């Protein structure tokens, strides 16, 4: 099949392109390289079935496609808050352009949505029928509400235009190819540790997250795309919950470093708890996020050792 992956030079997108190529598909990665990187797909550029198209998805584009994976959007607070208006436009206009292409070509369209749909949740763990607790005018609103609108567009195109859609709500994901400066908690802790700096936690570090290794997430995305009946929305993530303090301690254990933890004030609208209920994904897809945090962190630390030494 011919697959388009918008955001294909990003952290998750590059792993997805690699996995699709391994299955024998033709892959076009579309990325404006604002947060993605050529380095992430450097090993794919000579592949006869891979194309990197440097393009902003807020501008219309056309290519033949059987599958469209829409991952184009800054995904870390540091990046999406840098230009919040652009973040909203990327989510809304970028999704419209992808859905219009799907309508034109008959492609199946997968939207990479997010656990941020649920905001700072009042329900724990989060199930797909929970509508969320989101602040639409806070500093995270550009991403949270942008993704919520993307989901709306998917279902409206499905109802109005007959587009085949799949909506995945992605929970915290980590692994090789995360950007050194992306500000996400896993990369922050690893980079600080490898630089011999204190690890910064916010509040007392008792807020929780559930961390899914990127390989497991990609398996879930591809399984959802190829499921014949499921539209979603469907949670994809690892349901094993850790406090941020526990994550910091695990990073120090793996790096074999003895560094202090420094507490800072919690940012606005930072979720206190985050854990997916993945019952639907387990039943419909056989989804099994099998790589435990300690193992995935070892792979990720090995990757960052080379990146931090170069930076």
Domain range summary for the chain, segments of one domain joined by +: 2-173+213-236, 178-209+240-274+290-310
pTM of the shown model: 0.96
> Catalytic annotation on 143?
yes
Query: From CA 238, how far away is CA 232, in angstroms rounded?
Result: 17
Closest listed residue to residue 186, CA positions, set 204, 199, 170: 199
State in words which class domain 2-173+213-236 has: alpha beta
- What's the whole-number mean pLDDT along residues 223-250? 97
State in words which class domain 178-209+240-274+290-310 has: alpha beta
- What's the whole-number mean pLDDT along residues 39-68? 98
What's residue 259's pLDDT? 97
- What's the whole-number mean pLDDT along residues 148-155? 98
Mean pLDDT of all residues belonging to the chain: 96
Catalytic residue among 69, 80, 118, 143: 143
CB 3 within 8 A of CB 67: yes
What's residue 44's pLDDT? 98
User: Tokens 């050529």 correspond to what residue?
Assistant: 38
CB 186 within 8 A of CB 174: yes
What's residue 107's pLDDT? 98
Q: How confident is the model at residue 147 (pLDDT cuts 50, 70, 90)?
A: very high
CB 173 within 8 A of CB 237: yes
Q: Measured between alpha carbons, how far is residue 30 from residues 71, 105, 221, 222 in Å?
A: 10, 17, 18, 18
What's residue 268's pLDDT? 79
Residues 64-100 have pLDDT tens digits of 999 999 999 998 888 999 999 999 999 999 999 999 9
Size of the chain, expressed as the number of residues it contains: 311
What's residue 308's pLDDT? 87
* Chain centre distance of CA 286: 20
């Amino acid at each position: 099949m011919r697959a388009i992956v918008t955001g294909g030079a990003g952290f998750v997108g590059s792993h997805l392109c690699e996995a699709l190529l391994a299955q024998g598909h033709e892959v076009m990665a579309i990325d404006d390289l604002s947060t993605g990187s050529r380095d992430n797909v450097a090993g794919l550029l000579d592949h006869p079935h891979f194309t990197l198209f440097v393009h902003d998805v807020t501008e219309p584009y056309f290519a033949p496609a059987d599958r469209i994976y829409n991952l184009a959007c800054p995904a870390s607070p540091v990046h999406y808050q840098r230009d919040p208006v652009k973040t909203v436009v990327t989510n809304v206009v970028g999704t419209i352009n992808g859905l219009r292409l799907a309508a034109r070509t008959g492609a199946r369209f997968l939207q990479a949505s997010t656990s941020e749909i649920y905001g700072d949740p009042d329900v724990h763990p989060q199930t797909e029928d929970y509508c969320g607790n989101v602040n639409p005018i806070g500093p995270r609103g550009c991403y949270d509400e942008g993704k919520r609108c993307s989901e709306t567009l998917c279902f409206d195109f499905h109802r109005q235009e007959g587009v085949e859609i799949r909506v995945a709500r992605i929970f915290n994901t980590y692994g090789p190819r995360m950007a050194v400066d992306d500000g996400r908690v896993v990369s922050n802790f690893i980079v600080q540790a490898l630089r011999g700096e204190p690890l910064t936690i916010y509040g007392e570090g008792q807020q929780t997250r559930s961390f899914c290794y990127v390989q497991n997430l990609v398996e879930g995305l591809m399984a959802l795309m190829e499921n014949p009946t499921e539209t979603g929305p469907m949670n994809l993530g690892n349901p094993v919950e850790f406090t941020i303090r526990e994550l910091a301690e695990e990073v120090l254990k793996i790096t074999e470093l003895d560094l202090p933890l420094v507490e800072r004030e919690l940012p606005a609208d930072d979720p206190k708890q985050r854990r997916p209920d993945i019952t639907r994904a387990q039943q419909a897809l056989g989804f099994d996020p099998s790589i435990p945090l300690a193992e995935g962190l070892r792979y990720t630390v090995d990757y960052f050792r080379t990146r931090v030494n170069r930076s």
